[in-house]
Every structure is written in C-alpha cells, then in structure tokens.
Amino acid sequence: MKAIVPEKFGPPLGMYSHGVVAPGGELVVVAGQVGTDANGEVAGDDVRSQTRQALANVSTVLETAGCSMADVIRFQTFLTSAEDIPEFMAARKEAFPRYFPDGVYPPNTLLVVTRLVFPGLRVEIEAMAVRSRPASPTRTKASTPRTARRGSRKRRR
C-alpha cells in the first residue's frame, strides 16, 4: 500500500492517509465488527475496550481470508457518541503501530451514529483489504452460485 499525499493538503488529522494506492489482488470486505468476544460477550462498557476487541475481530476475519491488517486499504468506523472519539483514537494509537509498522495508515471514515444494532455496543469497524496471494482452500469458503450447484447434479432416473 502506498499513501497518497497531495502537495496542497496538510498532514492527516489522525492515524490515516488521505488516500492509498493498493497493489493488485482480490478485494476482501469485512463486515462491521463490534467489541464482542467469541462468546458474544461485550468486551467492556468503555469504547476503548470495545475498539480493541473490534480491531481484533477484524484481524481474525482477515486472517481467515489469508490476509493481515497490513493488507487493509480502508476502514469505516461508527461510534455512538462523539464523546468517545478521544478514547477510540487512544485505542487506535495503541494498536496501529503493531498492525501498520511502516506508519502508512489506511484511510478511515469515522461516523457518529445514534446507535448500533444492540444496546451497549459503542463502536463498529468495517474494513476492506487486498489479498495479493491466493488463499488456501482450507482458510476460506468459496460460495458457489445456486444455479451452478443445481446444474452440476446428475439426475436420477
């Protein structure tokens, strides 16, 4: 990933790039991940704990697809309160140096919304990544269109 740095712009206001050029490959889209663990338990009442867990969940989905956080080319984040922005940024500041050691951060759109799907959730993070190497067949499950599956069955007579 290569950061786009327009000469007429100042530096980004936070840990993101104004834009990036991504290498060719397959696009991996990660649905919004929230701060719940594998048992569905919310990581904590605070946005910092939930952000750490949501980022870990994004990372797990990416790993399952044969990627890592370093392959992310875009984040979109939803917070339920503008008052949570400083703690959300603090959680990113803790995690991003591990995920992006070269200091090139993906673009991020941060939105403040009224609420998320379940009460108590304070942050949701979506991601897009580019997978440059083929995924192992055991790591991802390719979906086959229904028509292809039907057409491939032999009819019994």
- pLDDT tens sequence across 21-64: 777 889 999 999 999 999 999 999 999 999 999 999 999 999 99
Amino acid present at 37: D
> Does residue 110 lie in a domain region?
yes
Nearest CA to 133 among 20, 28, 19?
A: 28
CATH of the domain at 148: 3.30.1330.40
Can you give the pLDDT at residue 7? 83
Can you give the pLDDT at residue 134? 61
> Does residue 78 lie in a domain region?
yes
Can you give the pLDDT at residue 147? 39
Can you give the pLDDT at residue 146? 39
> Higher confidence at residue 4 or residue 150?
4
Q: Which of 21-25, 74-78, 81-85, 88-92 has the lowest mean pLDDT?
A: 21-25
Q: What is the mean pLDDT of residues 14-19?
A: 82
Can you give the pLDDT at residue 80? 98
Nearest CA to 73 among 116, 126, 133?
A: 126
How many Å is the Cα radius of gyration of the chain?
Answer: 18
3-state secondary structure of 30: strand
> Does residue 96 lie in a domain region?
yes
> Does residue 49 lie in a domain region?
yes
C-alpha 63/C-alpha 101 separation (Å) is 17
Residue 8: pLDDT band with limits 50, 70, 90: confident
Q: What is the mean pLDDT of residues 130-145?
A: 56
Count of structural domains within the chain:
1
> Does residue 18 lie in a domain region?
no
> Does residue 8 lie in a domain region?
no
Q: Quote the domain boundaries for residue 93.
A: 24-152
C-alpha 97/C-alpha 75 separation (Å) is 16
Q: What is the mean pLDDT of residues 84-98?
A: 97
> Does residue 6 lie in a domain region?
no
Nearest CA to 54 among 129, 127, 128, 125?
A: 125
Contact 28, 22 (CB under 8 A): no
Q: What is the pTM of this model?
A: 0.78
Secondary structure string (H, E, C) spanning 110-150: EEECCCCCCCCCCEEEEEEEEECCCCCCCCCCCCCCHHHHH
Beta strand 72-79 with 108-112: parallel, antiparallel or unpaired?
Answer: parallel
Q: Which of 8-12, 37-41, 67-71 has the lowest mean pLDDT?
A: 8-12
> Does residue 4 lie in a domain region?
no
